[in-house]
């Protein structure tokens, strides 16, 4: 993962580092009042962060997928909520960029995003293969009624990228994917994000009440319940971004714990070994996260089920390792880590959310097991 050589990447590292102190303060405040990291988003928008990965010839910054992973990891060290929320916009954008690079269109949309930096909000994780809600055919398009949960950054969303089931009279049950502006009639953000951790992500529920979706807004029509090749693209580009936030959280927890031990007047005999154990867990998280980035190969991918299997396997392992790092850091810190005034307490809560991204642990075991057994049978 050679992401430190380009001048543009160095520029972005400096920009992110300059915001670290502000983001750290924001993390405390937003965790305390459950509000969205709007101030951090405003600063990132000034830097044109939300257009950073769009090709330069379309008006973007030309930042590589691997470089964005590194930037999200760095943001995660100062504010996990900001990094995680940003990853949701960035992965939708990268999927569009992959499609554009394949000669499948999207130039006009990417140019518009580069110009205005609208915030893209996904509900794909919750919807997965089945999706939820209902669609009714009307003149010129469809009416959609649904409630979409865990819509990260919906507190500041401009465009909702989602899906819903539709019973086609000829083809049977389908899932239609589409985008709708948050200003659409019948679309409402339900401000219900009160969570254990990652409290600043603004991951409210979004209600669609007979929202009109034009026919030409449908971007994918797939069989309900089946793994469409589309998911191989989304999972492969999205999960390295998402896990970048948690690797950043784990790295920060490790630094805090080590500094605390160095400043101790009297060190318990087993503390040094605990630090070494924490280090091993962090190395496991970092190495497998970097391998996720390698698999994505800066969007030079051909969507295959094997990639989804490989990415999801590593996602589970990285999640487990990151949780282990922060858990061990709490043990190294001792009783003071249990206080909310200690940053570790928040990091411990934030890192728990890594488990809930798709696929969750046992769902991933089933997915990979079925893939491996099917491959052997062939």
Domain of residue 47, CATH code: 1.10.540.10
In a domain? residue 1 = no
Domain ends where: 223, 248, 267?
223
138-170 pLDDT tens trace: 999 999 999 999 999 999 999 999 999 999 999
pLDDT at 266: 80
| CATH (domain of 341) | 1.20.140.10
Mean pLDDT of the chain: 95
- What number is the average pLDDT over the span 356-375? 95
Q: Locate 32 and state its tokens.
A: 């305390």
In a domain? residue 2 = no
Whether residues 136 and 233 share a domain: the answer is no
CB atoms under 10 Å from CB of 302, counted, come to 10
Q: Is the dihedral of CA 195, 197, 201, 203 positive or negative?
A: negative
Q: Locate 327 and state its tokens.
A: 């858990």
pLDDT at 376: 61
Q: Is residue 288 over pLDDT 90?
A: yes
Ranking 33-42, 278-287, 297-306, 335-344 by mean pLDDT, the lowest is: 335-344
Q: Is residue 284 over pLDDT 90?
A: yes
- What number is the average pLDDT over the span 91-106? 96
16-48 pLDDT tens trace: 999 999 999 999 999 999 999 999 999 999 999
pLDDT at 225: 93
Q: Is residue 378 over pLDDT 50?
A: no
Domain ends where: 223, 238, 260?
223
169-209 pLDDT tens trace: 999 999 999 999 999 999 999 999 999 999 999 999 999 99
Whether residues 136 and 274 share a domain: the answer is no
Domain ends where: 68, 102, 118?
118
Q: What is the dihedral of CA 18, 23, 24, 30, to 10 degrees?
A: 170
In a domain? residue 244 = yes
pLDDT at 190: 98
Expressed as residue numbers, the domain containing 206 is 122-223
Q: What is the dihedral of CA 74, 79, 81, 82, to 10 degrees?
A: -60
Whether residues 244 and 372 share a domain: the answer is yes
- What number is the average pLDDT over the span 208-231? 95
Residue 3: pLDDT band (50, 70, 90) is: very low
Whether residues 345 and 318 share a domain: the answer is yes
Q: How many domains does the chain have?
A: 3
30, 15 Cβ separation under 8 angstroms = no
In a domain? residue 282 = yes
- What number is the average pLDDT over the span 267-271? 89
Residue 6: pLDDT band (50, 70, 90) is: confident
Whether residues 315 and 342 share a domain: the answer is yes
């Amino acid at each position: 993962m050679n992401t430190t050589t380009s001048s543009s990447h160095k520029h972005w590292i400096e920009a992110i580092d300059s915001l670290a102190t502000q983001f750290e303060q924001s993390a405390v405040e937003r965790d305390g009042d459950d509000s969205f990291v709007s101030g951090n988003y405003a600063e990132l928008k000034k830097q044109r962060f939300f257009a950073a990965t769009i090709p330069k010839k379309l008006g973007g910054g030309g930042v590589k997928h691997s470089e964005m992973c590194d930037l999200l990891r760095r943001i995660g060290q100062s504010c996990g909520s900001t990094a995680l929320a940003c990853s949701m916009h960035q992965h939708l954008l990268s999927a569009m960029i992959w499609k554009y690079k394949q000669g499948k269109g999207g130039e006009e949309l990417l140019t518009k995003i580069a110009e205005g930096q609208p915030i893209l909000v996904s509900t794909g994780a919750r919807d997965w293969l089945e999706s939820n809600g209902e669609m009714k055919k009307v003149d010129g398009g469809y009416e959609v009624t649904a409630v979409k949960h865990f819509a990260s950054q919906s507190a500041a969303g401009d465009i909702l990228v989602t899906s819903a089931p539709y019973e086609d009279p000829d083809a049977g049950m389908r899932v239609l994917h589409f985008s709708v502006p948050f200003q659409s009639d019948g679309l409402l953000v339900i401000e219900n994000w009160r969570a254990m951790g990652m409290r600043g992500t603004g991951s409210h529920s979004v209600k669609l009440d007979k929202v009109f979706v034009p026919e030409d807004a449908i971007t994918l029509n797939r069989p309900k319940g089946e793994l469409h090749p589309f998911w191989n693209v989304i999972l492969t580009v999205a999960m390295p971004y998402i896990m970048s936030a948690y690797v950043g959280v784990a790295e920060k927890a490790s630094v805090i714990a080590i500094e605390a031990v160095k400043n101790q007047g009297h060190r318990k005999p087993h503390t040094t070994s605990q630090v070494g154990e924490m280090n091993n867990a962090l190395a496991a998280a970092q190495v497998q996260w970097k391998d996720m980035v390698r698999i994505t190969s800066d969007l030079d991918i051909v969507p295959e089920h094997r990639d989804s299997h490989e990415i999801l396997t590593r996602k589970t392992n990285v999640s487990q390792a990151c949780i282990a790092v922060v858990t061990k850091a709490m043990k190294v810190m001792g009783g003071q880590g249990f206080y909310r005034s200690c940053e570790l307490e928040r990091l411990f809560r934030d890192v728990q959310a890594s488990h809930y991204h798709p696929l969750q642990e046992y769902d991933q075991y089933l997915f990979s097991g079925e893939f491996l057994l099917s491959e052997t049978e062939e």
